[in-house]
Amino acid sequence: MEPLRLGIAGLGTVGAGLVSVVQNNAALLRSRCGRDVQIVAVNARDRARDRGVDLSDYRWVDDARDLIGADDIDVVVELIGGEDGIALELVEGALKAGQHVVTANKALLAVHGTRLAQAADTTGVHVGFEAAVAGGIPIIKGLREGLAGNRITRLYGILNGTSNYIMTAMRDDGSPFDEVLAEAQRLGYAEADPALDIGGGDAAHKLAILASLAFGRPVDFDNVHVEGIQAITPMDIEFAREFGFCVKLLGIAQVSEHGVEQRVHPCMIPQTGPIAPVDGVFNAVVVEGDAVDVATFIGRGAGAGPTASAVVADIVDIARGLRLPFYNVPVSDLVSTPHAPIERRHGAYYIRLMVIDRPGVIAEVSAILRDEDISVESLLQRGRDPEEVVPLVMTTHEADEDAMLRALERFGDLDAVSETPLTIRIEDL
């Protein structure tokens, strides 16, 4: 059988990792695919840079767009990144030219997924994007194929390794957020500009992709509710532990009576749940379906090897002749079911107020909660330090999000409250 011929655009960590896996496991890939997997052309911004892999056998392409429609390239592998610009031009161009595409670009798919799926449907080519979500975890394959017999009711997970690393380190060392972030940057676990990771945007990209697959909806990134971990302190993590919880930045997508919920925010979850022990840079995804009940996937979310593993799996699929619709069903079968806004959430909450330690504060706070029909489950005021600022923490029974938002605003108006009140949603996951 003819070899499968690749053009690779982008030679960063993942691109170099891909070249290395294709070279090192060439015989294995030949045996598993029934044909050779051949790199034909490569592209990056800087030709001179040493990437630790031998590129001398491959055609160097200065402009990634020259891969589009090249008659010696069956698969365009897009590892450039970014939701627009060259990456979009390259992927869309390749799909329209009838070339298969493998991409690790979550931002691109979260924003332009439906349009790209339409292009792929038209020419009948395969788009592999296992590497776009949770690197080494074969969750796209799990959803598109392994759980294809299920009506998915909920999925959730730890989708950003940087945030998980930071919160694990805050818990273990008790160091404040800024210090842990700087250390993560030094170790290469966080980018120089960490906004997408710690702000939740990266997890939101991934959640939007997973939710569209799971629920058969056009990708709906704009309706993902996103909060990051910047306001979490080691103190909150310690209080969580006392209450029997741990704190994770989760992406949650589920079908509720109000529509499809998509949200990324810090959560307190029971220490005994399936993903509570997933620490450090690891990712995890839990899928709930009507037949399978629950399936949990845990692995590395990033890094050269795990991400290259996912890219190669997609290439192997194409080499073996797998052709799936982008979103698991044709774009024409996607249904724009309504989305449920975050204000419709109904659940328990953790609230932390920094209050001036003086008589009457608890009475004021309690009155606000009573007015909003929010019932307190537990309340802790640690330390005694008259007229100084101390934390007042509470957990609530199930309450409505909009009532909680009103309560938070009123807390913020109290004279005795000295910082923006913090709340963390408690999820029984």
Query: Where does this chain bind a copy of itself (CB under 8 A)?
Result: 17, 21, 24-25, 28-29, 31-32, 34, 130, 136-138, 141-142, 145-151, 216, 272, 274, 277, 289-300, 303, 305-306, 308-309, 311-313, 315-317, 320-325, 328-330, 333
Rounded to a whole number of angstroms, the minimum distance from the CB of residue 184 to a copy of itself is 19
Gap between the Cα atoms of 426 and 270, Å rounded = 9
* Token duo for residue 14: 């993942």
The catalytic residues are 206
Nearer to a copy of itself, 47 or 323 (CB): 323
Nearer to a copy of itself, 70 or 117 (CB): 117
Rounded to a whole number of angstroms, the minimum distance from the CB of residue 112 to a copy of itself is 23
Nearer to a copy of itself, 110 or 285 (CB): 285
Nearer to a copy of itself, 100 or 345 (CB): 100
Sign of CA dihedral 392, 393, 399, 403: positive
Count of Cβ atoms closer than 10 Å to residue 243 Cβ:
17
* Token duo for residue 313: 């799996």
Count of Cβ atoms closer than 10 Å to residue 127 Cβ:
25
Nearer to a copy of itself, 147 or 180 (CB): 147
Gap between the Cα atoms of 207 and 221, Å rounded = 8
Edge-to-edge strand order for the sheet containing 37-43? 59-61, 37-43, 4-9, 75-78, 100-103, 127-128
Gap between the Cα atoms of 83 and 86, Å rounded = 9
Nearer to a copy of itself, 25 or 185 (CB): 25
Strand pairing report for 225-226 and 259-270? parallel
> What one-character-per-residue DSSP string does 192-261 give?
SS-HHHHTSHHHHHHHHHHHHHHHT----GGG-EE--STT--HHHHHHHHHTTEEEEEEEEEEEETTEEE
Rounded to a whole number of angstroms, the minimum distance from the CB of residue 28 to a copy of itself is 6
* Distance set, CA 25 to CA 28, 34, 163, 239 (Å): 5, 14, 33, 48
Rounded to a whole number of angstroms, the minimum distance from the CB of residue 282 to a copy of itself is 9
Rounded to a whole number of angstroms, the minimum distance from the CB of residue 298 to a copy of itself is 4
Strand pairing report for 100-103 and 389-396? unpaired
Rounded to a whole number of angstroms, the minimum distance from the CB of residue 180 to a copy of itself is 21
Q: Residues 107, 81: contact at Cβ < 8 Å?
A: yes
